[in-house]
A and B are shown apart, each in its own frame.
Chain A
Amino acid sequence: MTRTSGTRAATTGAGMADPTTWTSVWAGLGVVAGALVLGLVLAWFDAVARAGVRVGSRAVLVPAAAAPVREGMRLLLGQRRTTVAPDRLLRTLAVCAVPVLALTSAAVLPLGGHSVVSTSADLVWFNAAEALLWVAVWMLGWAPNAVHSLVGAYRFLAQGLAYELPLMFAIITVGVGAGSLRATDVVAAQAGGAWFVWTMPVALLVFLLGAAAFTFWGPFGAPAARDIAEGVLSELAGLDRLLVELGRAVFLGVASATAAAWFLGAEDGPVLPGAWWYAIKTLAVMAFLVGVGRRLPLVRPERFADIAWMVLLPLTILQTAVVAVLVLGGFYG
């Protein structure tokens, strides 16, 4: 051990003594608050996009922007719902797991050369948090003991089989380019305008596509689609529903910020302070994601599986191969 166990006695978590880890006790709370803000901003974008697309009038945009908060309050005060013979333990676990996993994924968000959790495998950390959603969403659909929610759960798994591998290759590409799986190293490797998006556009697009798919949002909303009465969400009401919706929004918001960090260089940029750049890039990613996502029709999981395996997977492998060749050629310095 480079560190004696005595110095680590207070911090038993993974790699807490790394220099890139925030040591302040407020850092954890700060990231939770930041993640919630990211989720709220994304929900605003989403509400505005939906209202704008549907009505096309500026008059409805302002009330639409308040919709997420209003809806949240309504759910908070609303009554919870139960079904005949549900699996209460699994439902409680699933309802809590969705927001907790979203916050877990925010722990590796790099900010000013630090993150709350900084391990030598941050990229895998994000991937693992997202993969645990498979189980959480499946439990969510299984627990109420109802047909529609179970159909939604199986749709989510089918969709997962389609998006997961391309998403993994997109994440691997970032690691290959940076020569490290640590989020702060990834940001450092893009200093001076050498943003990964220039050489990894496919990986960025697939990453955003994966983010939309694992939060079953927009065109990948089949697990909670109207044809199965909102599927995995159908039996959720009140606080349960609030937690799940919050988790989805936060996860998508955090994924947008992660994309800004991994592909757009986070704080890197001229003139303006770094934090401004980070915020601008995150908002730009959100606007792009919501603007494109809300204009696309719902994709059926079995069709998406075909496209994912026949088109996206070869594309992402090719993307990784191109980046690997560039690394060997010393392109990334």
Chain B
Amino acid sequence: MTELLVLSALGAAAVCTGVLVFVVDSMARATFCLLASFLATGAALLVMDLHYLGLLTILMMTIEMAIMVVFMIMLMMNPAGLMPMTMVHNTKGSAAVGATVFVVLVVGIWTVDWPERTGSPPADPTRQVGEAIMGPQMLLMIVVGVVLLATMVAGITLATHRGRYDRFGPDLDRGRPDDPVRGGLPR
């Protein structure tokens, strides 16, 4: 019972901080409200005894939001959090989409014939997750890994305005690359 109460409180916290993202007028606060929402979700997983998945959610989302806040402030024209701006655009359309998705999910949750639990959870769910990923789902993970890497490389290639000709000269014969920031290694 207590577990259920804590879970509900965490769920409510996740939703409320999620809503706050669109209420606050500072990009920094908006980002950290979103992070708070993710942290509540991660804590909910912890309460469900899914330690690894819960902690991983917290870990990854924290780093993600710490990086994202830099871009949010850079791109959303809210210098130093002092210039008020709005996170809400196309309010009617998004409200309609949000309401539809909510109704679909709620109807789905209550009408699906969920299977009854058989057996008991393992002593170490982390090991079970690892074995599932590294066993039957290995091919999927390899494919996803390669796709992610290709996306990252492609994204950086598209985003950077400097190529090897800028670094090593038109004939690629420069001994030391011409970089705006000097690295830490002798090249």
Contacts and interface: CB of A to CB of B under 8 A. Distances in A.
Interface of A: 1-2, 5, 8-10, 12-15, 85, 87, 89-90, 93, 119-121, 124-125, 127-128, 131-132, 134-135, 138-139, 142, 145, 150, 154, 157, 160-161, 164, 180-181, 299-300, 302-307, 310-311
A307 B184 contact: yes
A12 B3 contact: yes
30 contacts: A1-B120, A1-B121, A2-B120, A9-B3, A14-B49, A14-B51, A89-B29, A90-B28, A119-B55, A120-B124, A120-B127, A121-B56, A124-B52, A124-B55, A124-B56, A127-B55, A128-B55, A131-B59, A131-B62, A132-B58, A157-B67, A161-B67, A180-B127, A181-B52, A299-B184, A302-B183, A304-B184, A305-B184, A306-B184, A307-B184
A302 B3 contact: no
Contact of B66 (A5, A87, A157, A306): A157
Nearest to B24: A89
Nearest to B117: A1
Contact of B125 (A5, A120, A311): A120
B49 A15 contact: yes
Secondary structure call for the A interface: helix
A5 B51 contact: no
A250 to B, nearest CB: 19
Contacts of A311: 185
Interface of B: 1-4, 6, 26, 28-29, 32, 35, 46-47, 49, 51-52, 54-56, 58-59, 62-63, 65-67, 69-70, 80-82, 120-121, 123-127, 181-185
A8 B7 CA distance: 14
Contacts of A124: 51-52, 55-56, 59
Nearest to B59: A128
A304 B2 CA distance: 48
A296 to B, nearest CB: 13
Given A12-B6, A15-B49, A181-B52, A128 B62 contact: yes
Contacts of B121: 1-2
B52 to A, nearest CB: 4
Nearest to B43: A14
Query: Shortest 9 CB-CB distances between A and B: which pairs?
Result: A303-B184, A306-B183, A119-B51, A134-B66, A306-B184, A121-B52, A124-B55, A14-B46, A128-B59
B139 to A, nearest CB: 20
Contacts of B82: 85, 145
